[in-house]
Amino acid sequence: MPTSTEFSLAEAIAVLTRTPATLNALLRGLPNTWVRGNEGKDTWTAFDIVGHLIVGERTDWIPRVRIIMANGEARPFDPFDRFAQFKETEDKSLERLLDDFTRLRGENLAALQTLNLQPEDLARRGKHPALGVVTLSELLATWAVHDLTHLHQLSRVMAHQYRDAVGPWLAYLGVLRCDGHSAP
Amino acid sequence: MPTSTEFSLAEAIAVLTRTPATLNALLRGLPNTWVRGNEGKDTWTAFDIVGHLIVGERTDWIPRVRIIMANGEARPFDPFDRFAQFKETEDKSLERLLDDFTRLRGENLAALQTLNLQPEDLARRGKHPALGVVTLSELLATWAVHDLTHLHQLSRVMAHQYRDAVGPWLAYLGVLRCDGHSAP
């Protein structure tokens, strides 16, 4: 493994800014085969994944940034509910979820900008309820990589729907050999 | 694993149509950290992956559809060069590659429509130089899943750049545990 790069706020924001448009381009208007298919019992659909990203925007990333800035390690983050989307997305369309995610992400990136974080802020420490001490830069890096882990999962869940349809090409398509390490 | 769905030409086209805009939304204008970073020796960058998709549009998918329609199993497909992009993309920008891919994919989907494939055509057989007998529907399903396998790879290559930056969250981010089954 080569050395991976150091965190840069501008680089993280570059990824975070693009995710809503990426999901819109990939998912909006797709047939239900791709949107409502999962990988079997207790796995997520593309619809569920977008719902999960919405919950993160509401309860995870910026709220945790604020806790670090206000309280440091003194106040642990609230635990994140990784299953809240199943209740919250009932009776909504994928298009509605995509719109909600786009709006919330925009609001959260605006909130981040308002905080006007300085380089020294990035080393501030907070307390994760399970992982222990983390830094603000680790939280922000994770926000961006969390988008990527769910893009990874989305591509795998969608590909799974054509697992049989590709016939002998199964042997060449790595996404169909992914064991679901990024599944919930 | 649940039963995966049967091939539908309209569903495959729905994915194939969306890939150029998805890659544009994800990649265009990103800092070099995300575009020019790979996962170590002999692995691909995001730039290389887009180059590979272009080679596929030029030499793989529609040319193979035409061979099946004209010659069936009598004429095996030409082998696909999985490394051609390293030469072909020299001196090009990512933006140029994204434009080229968008144009070629549009032309190829137009060519597919012109062929006016009927349900009985989907069972036509061709000969893959390594995999042996394949059907037209398997080829078209693979074209769509090939897009998804490289989206899977893209998200992994990008996430890798922040492997260290996420700190203890490494444990929760599945994309960082992906072993590269979808790497070249």
Across the interface, which of B153, B163, B169 has its CB nearest the CB of A4?
A: B163
Mark yes or no for CB contact A30/B40 under 8 Å.
no
Which residues of chain B have a CB within 8 Å of the CB of A124?
A: none
Tell me the two tokens of residue A142. Answer: 């994770």
- How would you class B79 by CB atoms within 10 Å of its CB: exposed for 0-12, middle for 13-18, buried for 19 or more? exposed
Q: What is the rounded CA–CA span in Å between residue B136 and residue A137?
A: 49
Question: Is-contact A102 A20, C-beta < 8 A?
Answer: yes
**A57: nearest Cα among A12, A20, A108:** A108
Tell me the two tokens of residue A35. Answer: 């949107």
Q: Which helix (H) or strand (E) holds A127?
A: strand A125-128
Across the interface, which of A145, A158, A172 has its CB nearest the CB of B148?
A: A158
pLDDT band of residue B90 (cuts 50, 70, 90) is: confident
Q: ipTM, 2 decimals?
A: 0.94
pLDDT digits (tens, 9 = 90+) for B120-164: 999 999 999 999 999 999 999 999 999 999 999 999 999 999 999
B102: contact with A, CB 8 A cutoff: no
Q: Is the dihedral of CA A158, A161, A164, A165 positive or negative?
A: negative
**What pLDDT score was predicted for residue B4?**
62
Segment A20-48 mean pLDDT: 96
**Bigger pLDDT: A102 vs A82:** A102
Across the interface, which of A34, A148, A165 has its CB nearest the CB of B6?
A: A165
Residues, chain A, total?
184
Across the interface, which of A5, A22, A145 has its CB nearest the CB of B37?
A: A5
pLDDT digits (tens, 9 = 90+) for A19-33: 999 999 999 999 999
Burial B81-107 (b: 16+ CB within 10 A, else e): eeebbeebbeebebeebbebbbebbee
**What pLDDT score was predicted for residue A181?**
61
Question: Is-contact B141 B12, C-beta < 8 A?
Answer: yes
**What pLDDT score was predicted for residue B181?**
61
Pairing of strands A125-128, B125-128: unpaired
Question: Is-contact A150 A49, C-beta < 8 A?
Answer: yes
Instruction: Return the bridge partners of B125, or none.
Output: B135
Question: Is-contact B89 B101, C-beta < 8 A?
Answer: no
Q: Is the pLDDT of residue B28 over 60?
A: yes
B74: contact with A, CB 8 A cutoff: no
Q: Is the pLDDT of residue A182 over 70?
A: no
Question: Is-contact B48 B181, C-beta < 8 A?
Answer: no
Q: Which candidate in B13, B17, B33 is best for mutational testing of the A interface (most A CBs within 10 A)?
A: B33
**What pLDDT score was predicted for residue B1?**
45
CA atoms within 13 A on the CB side of B12: 25
- State the amino acid at position A156 in one-letter form: R
Q: Is the pLDDT of residue B182 over 80?
A: no
pLDDT digits (tens, 9 = 90+) for A88-111: 887 899 999 999 999 999 999 999
B168: contact with A, CB 8 A cutoff: yes
**B111: nearest Cα among B65, B56, B160, B151:** B65
Report angle CA A139, A142, A145 to the nearest 5 degrees.
Answer: 160
Mark yes or no for CB contact B169/A10 under 8 Å.
no
Across the interface, which of A14, A37, A139 has its CB nearest the CB of B5?
A: A37
Q: Is the pLDDT of residue A36 over 60?
A: yes
pLDDT digits (tens, 9 = 90+) for B99-113: 999 999 999 999 999
Which residues of chain A have a CB within 8 Å of the CB of B153?
A: 174-175
Mark yes or no for CB contact B33/A134 under 8 Å.
no
E-assigned strand segments in chain B? 125-128, 132-135
Supply the DSSP symbol for A132: E
Q: What is the rounded CA–CA span in Å between residue A37 and residue A110?
A: 34
Contacts of B75 (CB under 8 A, 6+ apart): B67, B127
**What pLDDT score was predicted for residue B83?**
82
- State the amino acid at position A134 in one-letter form: V
pLDDT band of residue B180 (cuts 50, 70, 90) is: low
Q: Is the pLDDT of residue B183 over 50?
A: no
B148: contact with A, CB 8 A cutoff: yes
The whole-angstrom distance between residue A113's C-alpha and the CA centroid of its chain comes to 20
Report angle CA B159, B172, A173 to the nearest 5 degrees.
Answer: 55
Question: Is-contact B106 B93, C-beta < 8 A?
Answer: no
Question: Is-contact B23 B101, C-beta < 8 A?
Answer: yes
- How would you class B121 by CB atoms within 10 Å of its CB: exposed for 0-12, middle for 13-18, buried for 19 or more? middle
